[in-house]
Amino acid sequence: MSISHDEALLAQVASLPALPGVYRYFDAQDQLLYVGKARSLKKRVSSYFQKDHGGTRIGHMVSKIVRMETTVVRSEAEALLLENNLIKTLNPKFNILFRDDKSYPYLKITATRPDAPGAAPSAGAYPRMAYYRGAVDKRHHYFGPYPSAWAVKESITLMQKVFRLRTCEDTVFANRSRPCLLYQIKRCSGPCVGLVGAQDYSASVDSAERFLRGETDAVLADLEHRMMAHAEALAFEQAAEIRNQIAALSRVLHQQSMDNVQDRDVDVLAVRVQGGRACVNLAMVRGGRHLGDRPYFPTHVEEALDWDGEGEAALPQAEPSQRLAVAVLHAFIAQHYLDVAMPHTLVTSHPVAPALVAALTEHSGHKLHTVHQPREHRRVWLDMAQRNADMALARLLSEEGSQQARTRALVEALDLAVETLEALRIECFDISHTAGESTQASCVVFAQHKMQNNEYRRYNIDGITPGDDYAAMRQVLLRRYGKLVEADAQDKLPDVVLIDGGKGQVGVAREVFSQLGLPLSRLVGVEKGEGRKVGLEELVFADGRDKVYLGADSAALMLVAQIRDEAHRFAITGMRAARAKVRTGGSRLEDIPGVGPKKRARLLQRFGGVRGVGQASVQDLCTVDGISPDLAAAIYNALR
């Protein structure tokens, strides 16, 4: 071996059992380098220390190993689960990492709650269709997941046109006296006012659910049977309604040119690697309908090990030029489908190791099929996903290039002493309140050429005169950087502290930094220009330097404006959330000119609460005593 390791470490490797498990490598600073899984810990881990890996990424990683931890598990599927949970939570340097995205949205149809005999129709007897994101309640029916909120809303619109299911809240349903606009434009059957019976509505719900599951032929046959039954009973109006449903559904199926009823639930995965970055484009087919796609961009691609030794043995046909792409695909599949329901079929741009397929099959409880070189309609799907991956990656590289240019321009404009552009760290502060109410300060962070959302912080400001922005700025800076001084951690101070304000705000910041003994050269204020026009901002310095006007077309000013605007947005949203906690829904109504306590009480009683008022149309609002058309329009606009 060309690399020498501690005898205790080599003895630990030699004593490993030939059992499935997970191993973790650490460097001299006790930083986690790599997490891997193995069918046989002894065979897999030994291969790292018994071979000469040369100057490869594996060789570079192995040279840093000083400590190892292992965990024995019962099966390879359990090892896969543990490995990828550790990768997500511990962020090892040499593993490809797909960060957790927000949860996928679903289309939800609520469960039926039958009315008591003789009781008036209630919302529970007429299931509601809605966009949903969050924990699943087994009482209701969920369809998806969908790649985006837009895809869910498009499907809801489709369901409204064809099956006319309601989307209104239960409180709105309970307070209707006449049908709403959706009924007028034939997107709801009007169950709230008894224009459709519970049995007919239930049949529409059943047809909608079968359509969403991909049973289109059965749905069409059932609709045709019901239409003929109505015609034979001389109920021509009902027959015409179902005829219109059939026509609408046929148009939808014609527009969905990618439909294939044999492939009801399929995920299509296309990978593209370029310029040290990678993109996995996930296209989703559910119920035979193509719902859209979503790109994913992993981190650590440049540092990652190209291939796992077991994967290489399982797929020897993978060409060297494609090794990294296959590694990215494997990392995505292993990490993504641990937390997301997995379809029965994956169509992929690169081959998938049988061992990974077997482990996911065991984990999911159903057989997983993978198709690497598809034909016919699957080839069309994969080609489209590949083109979308190409475009998404090209867009990312273009954006990163421009962002790096902005970073460089700012470093040069401010003459900052940073080791690398990636090392530049900027923190920006803003204050937000409404007439002194619910004052909040925001701190946003820019590093590694992008905003670091997970490092954003909000500070509730109290103990000051309402509306005193200077006192608020003083408080947040003392709280933020006083802790660094107490911990003797000035090395963690950002390179630039941006203050959204001119001489006054910067003067307060200068006092705080002087009090804490921190360098004033890092304080920069963003002063609005003449007429507060965008592009005329000037930079104000706390260390006595003259103001600097970078120019409206300056890349440095674009970056400063981007960070300043993000701090403002973050402060505004926090302030509004805090204000909402201390205000009742009724006070929101009372804030509207012309709405006093009596009118507010009538509105809340009529619509069952502020949510019902917010969802009511202008026409519905006019039905409340004392609400004129102009006032109804004002209420409608204020609550939306």
Q: 209 and 280: one domain?
A: no
Bridging pattern class, strands 496-499 and 425-434: parallel
Per-residue b or e along 4-35, where b marks 16 or more CB atoms closer than 10 Å to that residue's CB: ebeeeeeeebeebeeebbbbbbbeeeeebbbb
**Three-class secondary structure of residue 434 per DSSP:** strand
Write down the pLDDT at residue 289.
75
Lowest mean pLDDT of 5-9, 140-144, 261-265, 595-599, name the range. Answer: 261-265
Average pLDDT over residues 558-587: 71
Whether residue 145 has a cis bond before it, omega within 30° of 0: yes
Checking if the pLDDT of 578 tops 70, the result is no
192-223 pLDDT, tens digit each: 888 888 888 888 898 888 888 777 777 777 77
- Separation of alpha carbons 421 and 286, rounded Å: 44
Q: 326 and 340: one domain?
A: yes
Write down the pLDDT at residue 106.
85
Last residue of a domain, one of 537, 559, 581: 581
Per-residue b or e along 465-494, where b marks 16 or more CB atoms closer than 10 Å to that residue's CB: eeebbbbbbbbbbeebbeeeeeeeeeeebb
Checking if the pLDDT of 465 tops 90, the result is no
pTM: 0.61
Domain that holds residue 620: 585-638
- Separation of alpha carbons 404 and 634, rounded Å: 46
Q: 151 and 75: one domain?
A: no
Q: Looking at per-residue confidence, does 330 or 265 come out higher?
A: 330
pLDDT class of 475 with cuts at 50, 70, 90: very high
- Separation of alpha carbons 168 and 612, rounded Å: 9
Write down the pLDDT at residue 122.
77
Q: 481 and 623: one domain?
A: no
For residue 592, give the CATH number of its domain: 1.10.150.20
Asked if residue 76 lies in contact with residue 355, where contact means CB atoms within 8 angstroms, the answer is yes
- Separation of alpha carbons 269 and 603, rounded Å: 51
Checking if the pLDDT of 237 tops 90, the result is no
- Give the H/E segment covering residue 539: strand 538-541
Asked if residue 435 lies in contact with residue 582, where contact means CB atoms within 8 angstroms, the answer is no
Write down the pLDDT at residue 425.
92
Write down the pLDDT at residue 454.
86
Write down the pLDDT at residue 585.
43
Q: 592 and 575: one domain?
A: no
Lowest mean pLDDT of 174-178, 269-273, 476-480, name the range. Answer: 174-178
For residue 473, give the CATH number of its domain: 3.30.420.340
Q: 575 and 607: one domain?
A: no
Last residue of a domain, one of 255, 280, 295: 255
The mean of the pLDDT values for the chain is 81
Write down the pLDDT at residue 1.
43
Average pLDDT over residues 79-97: 85
Checking if the pLDDT of 234 tops 50, the result is yes
Residue 150: DSSP 8-state: H
Lowest mean pLDDT of 25-34, 458-467, 476-485, 507-516, name the range. Answer: 458-467
- Which residues contact residue 415 at a Cβ distance below 8 angstroms, ignoring those fewer than 6 apart? none
Write down the pLDDT at residue 255.
47
545-559 pLDDT, tens digit each: 888 887 777 888 888
Lowest mean pLDDT of 2-6, 59-63, 332-336, 597-601, name the range. Answer: 2-6
At residue 101, φ and ψ (nearest 5 deg) are: -95, 170
Lowest mean pLDDT of 69-83, 315-329, 589-603, name the range. Answer: 315-329
Q: 589 and 577: one domain?
A: no
Give the CA-trace dihedral at 617, 621, 623, 625, to 10 degrees.
Answer: 180
